[in-house]
Amino acid sequence: MAATFHCSIVTPTETVFDDQVEYVSFPAWDGQHGVMAGQSPLLSQLGIGALRIDGPDGGSRWYLLESGFAQVQDGALTLLTDRATPAADLSVDQANALIAEAAARIPTGGADLGTFERLQQRGFATRALARVHGS
């Protein structure tokens, strides 16, 4: 059995996950990061995308994460995020609606490009997860 470490996912309203794991891959602002037992201390800004958690039983859980921070300290990973949606709760139709909403909000004349980009990222990430792990 591989070494495990503690992982928790916390949103403003609840603790979504809190257990021992073998591996976690999370979306950071600069790409995917992987964490295993023995990871050096880390603080990273989260991006929007797929979170994969591999448990000691060999199974994986998938979530859509939306912004926040990841911290590895004292051998534990804590993900503080605005929203963590289980992949099983996502649908391609929902993703397509998000992408259409983003397209309808394409900024013009110096409008907020960041809001458009986040909505578009969320739609594409939702669709990718929903196709593989969603309902």
Below-70 pLDDT ranges, the chain: 1-2, 107, 109-111, 134-135
Q: What pTM, to 2 d.p., does this model score?
A: 0.84
In a shared domain, residues 17 and 76: yes
Q: What is the pLDDT of residue 101?
A: 82
pLDDT tens by residue, 28-39: 999 999 999 999
Q: Which stretch of DSSP H or E encloses residue 133?
A: helix 113-133
Judgement on whether residues 106 and 80 belong to the same structural domain of the protein? no
| Those residues with Cβ within 8 angstroms of residue 28's Cβ, 6 or more apart along the chain or in another chain | 44, 45, 46, 47, 70
Q: Are residues 12 and 61 in the same domain?
A: yes
Does one domain contain both 72 and 94? no
**pLDDT tens digit string along 60-83?**
999 999 889 999 999 999 999 999
Report residue 49 as tokens. Answer: 């995308």
Closest C-alpha among 45, 42, 48 to residue 71: 42
Q: pLDDT at position 2, please? A: 67
Indicate if 11 and 74 belong to the same structural domain: yes
For residue 99, what pLDDT is reported? 83
Whether residue 73 sits in one domain with residue 17: yes
**Domain shared by 23 and 82, yes or no:** yes
Residues 78 and 97 both lie in one domain: no
Range of the domain at 47: 5-86
Are residues 41 and 68 located together in one domain of the fold? yes
pLDDT score of 19? 96
CATH number at residue 64: 2.60.15.10
Do 12 and 60 reside in the same domain of the chain? yes
Number of domains in the chain: 2
